[in-house]
Structure 1
Amino acid sequence: MSANGGTRAIIAALAANIGIAVTKFGAFMLTGSSSMLAEAIHSVADSGNQGLLLLGGRRAQREATPQHPFGYGRERYIYAFIVSIVLFSLGGLFALYEAYHKWSHAEPITKWQWVPVTVLVIAIGMESFSFRTAIKESNPLRGSQSWLRFIRRAKAPELPVVLLEDFGALVGLVFALFGVGMTLATGNGRWDALGTAMIGVLLVTIAIILAVETKSLLLGEGAEQHDLAAIERAVTDGPEVERIIHMKTLYLGPEELMVAAKIGVPACETAEEVARGINAVEARIRSAVPIARVIYLEPDIYSAAADQAGTGAASHTAVPQPEDGPDEAAGRSGG
């Protein structure tokens, strides 16, 4: 993912949310609308979240240390996970509490009635600009994928987080406009409480989606199917390697992939020839998949008998891939 693209989307969202939060708080103080208060807190939470994403991106750029030899790339996942917690607690749960309170003590909007509608319309315009920026920055990375698949498969968390937050903000503003509009039309403050509850349910749902997706990244995900295929071709494309005995991949960060493989090399080669062959294979892997920056290749002499028996140096420990067809799975296992 382009880190600059993610940063531009975050900054656009941050600028929009700060401005929106100020106007929403002003509207709440003038009208007492719970929808306006819930939306103001939502904008504050979003602003804090964008600050966390920027901080995570900065901290992830630190150099590797003896204590953290693979660097700090995954710190971006940690901060994205914190974002989901903030959105759930500060945004969603607060809105649900405010909805319950307002439903029990419903009050109509009797003063400055034009303010909340005006503020919400302006906020929709500002959020639309932020959402448009996030979409524009995401499209080159999304390619032909659906938006749902892009959010689920993206290894860099920033753009999916901003996309979901901006989408939730736009829908939340529509909910708030509905609650405020119905309250103004009927004089019944419970419509305002209903709009607030809808905002709360929306934010909790988005927070849960973000938490689930970020948890998967924190646990460690392997390379996508097309990258796996490219790596396998790069390994077996020359005469240096007879087959892949087994291979595993792991994202160390959004733009850094680790590849570890045991490879079958021709028998009777000297150590110098094996070393030259491994260097050539590593160069081909990096050319095929540039983010494969950490590569460990273990040479071995492949033994079909040991493979079948599951013993010896060439025993097989293939990683199952549910989406692969039989041919692809057989190719990865070296069978």
Structure 2
Amino acid sequence: MSSESSKKTIFAAIAANLAIAITKFIAAAITGSSAMLSEGIHSTVDTANELLLLLGIHLSKKPPDANHPFGHGQELYFWSLIVAILVFSVGGGMSIYEGITHLLHPHPLEDPIWNYIVLSVAIVFEGFSWSVAWKEFQPQKGKQSTWQAIRTSKDPTIFTVLFEDSAALLGLIVAFLGVFFGQLFNNPYLDGIASIVIGLILAVIAVLLAYESRGLLLGESANSSTVESIRGIAASDPAVEGVMRVLTMHLGPHEILLNLEIQFHKTLSAEEVASAVERIEKTICTQHPDIKNIFIEAQSLTANRKGSKNPD
């Protein structure tokens, strides 16, 4: 997914969540619904989170400098982790707290028709945001299952927005059921229970987001098809006797660092090896433009090993 597609997904989510948050808080103030207040908090946190993702995208595009020679691509991974922390602590924590408070001090809903109206409208807006994220996710998903695609994705904006929107839709359904059954059975406790369930949903989503962000921050390799393609490109060069190691690491969604250890034919001169290295680099960059930095170690040069770096 390109950065423009990522931004489109985030902007759609921001517009939907901001509008929903305002209407939820108004409905919560009118009806006194704990679940509705939790949903308002949830939408506010989601809006702030998407703004942080935009910040991450912006900072990740800063050019390399002396302190960060490989660029700032991992800024996006860092801010994705912050988003996960906020979802867990603010979204999940406050929803559970509000639900427990309501259980300790229950009070009947006032004019719950407002809750039904707002929740119905919110489901429509949230469904729109989810559909945009899902549509942008499809090209990368390909033939993989949804979970496999999320696990292999190197762009955290994909699974962050999908997870958040999915949690939001589940939360809206839970809030609707809490209000409905609370009114049906004249039981104010059900509203508080719904708030706690919403908080638990957010906590689970936050843990999944944190787990995925952690893997990206630690440095994940390129997908197996890319690695095998690189190995094939190097092995097919007539100057190459064998490919020893192919080491890759994502420095950002579209920034890959490659370290390639190659055994060249021992009969080659230094000039011939240098030409082969340049040829291999050019082919790799043409077929895999996300590979921004290449280091090749030529094993045939025992006294003076050759390394090269491909400029951005």
Q: TM-score, normalised on structure 2?
A: 0.95
- Letter aligned with residue 86 of structure 1: L
Matched, 1:33 2:33: yes
Shift in CA distance, 313/172, structure 1 to aligned 2, threshold 3 Å: farther
The secondary structure found in structure 1 opposite 2:243 is strand
- Letter aligned with residue 121 of structure 1: S
1:91: how far off? 0.4
**Structure 2 partner of 1:203:** 202
Matched, 1:89 2:89: yes
1:246: how far off? 2.1
- Letter aligned with residue 10 of structure 1: I
What CA RMSD, in Å, does the superposition of the two structures yield over aligned residues?
1.6
**129-138 vs 260-269, greater mean Cα deviation:** 260-269
Tell me, in whole angstroms, the C-alpha distance in 1 between the residues paired with 2:189 and 2:88.
23
The within-5 A match list for 1:152-301 is 152-301=151-300
**Structure 2 partner of 1:149:** 148
Unaligned regions of 5+ residues in structure 1, if any?
304-311, 315-335
Q: Deviations over 1:89-144 (max 9, x none)?
A: 110011111111111111111x2221011100100000000000001111111111
Tell me, in whole angstroms, the C-alpha distance in 2 between the residues paired with 1:231 and 1:65.
28
- Letter aligned with residue 64 of structure 2: A
Unaligned regions of 5+ residues in structure 2, if any?
306-312
**Structure 2 partner of 1:101:** 101
Tell me, in whole angstroms, the C-alpha distance in 1 between the residues paired with 2:245 and 2:135.
39
Q: TM-score, normalised on structure 1?
A: 0.89
The secondary structure found in structure 2 opposite 1:242 is strand
Matched, 1:57 2:57: yes
The 8 Å contact of residues 243 and 265 in structure 1, kept in 2 or not, is answered as yes
**Structure 2 partner of 1:331:** none
Q: Deviations over 1:6-34 (max 9, x none)?
A: 11010000000000000000001101100
- Letter aligned with residue 51 of structure 1: L
Q: Deviations over 1:177-209 (max 9, x none)?
A: 000111111221101011111101100000000
**131-140 vs 284-293, greater mean Cα deviation:** 284-293
**242-251 vs 39-48, greater mean Cα deviation:** 242-251
Matched, 1:120 2:119: yes
The 8 Å contact of residues 21 and 41 in structure 1, kept in 2 or not, is answered as yes
Q: Deviations over 1:281-332 (max 9, x none)?
A: 11121223221121000111299xxxxxxxx999xxxxxxxxxxxxxxxxxx
Divergent runs of 4+, >6 A: none
Tell me, in whole angstroms, the C-alpha distance in 1 between the residues paired with 2:165 and 2:280.
44
The secondary structure found in structure 2 opposite 1:213 is helix
The secondary structure found in structure 2 opposite 1:243 is strand
Q: Tell me the number of residue pairs that the alignment of Structure 1 and Structure 2 aligns.
A: 305
Q: Report % sequence identity.
A: 37
**Structure 2 partner of 1:307:** none
The 8 Å contact of residues 270 and 301 in structure 2, kept in 1 or not, is answered as no
Tell me, in whole angstroms, the C-alpha distance in 2 between the residues paired with 1:130 and 1:193.
27
The 8 Å contact of residues 119 and 176 in structure 2, kept in 1 or not, is answered as yes
Tell me, in whole angstroms, the C-alpha distance in 1 between the residues paired with 2:170 and 2:203.
13
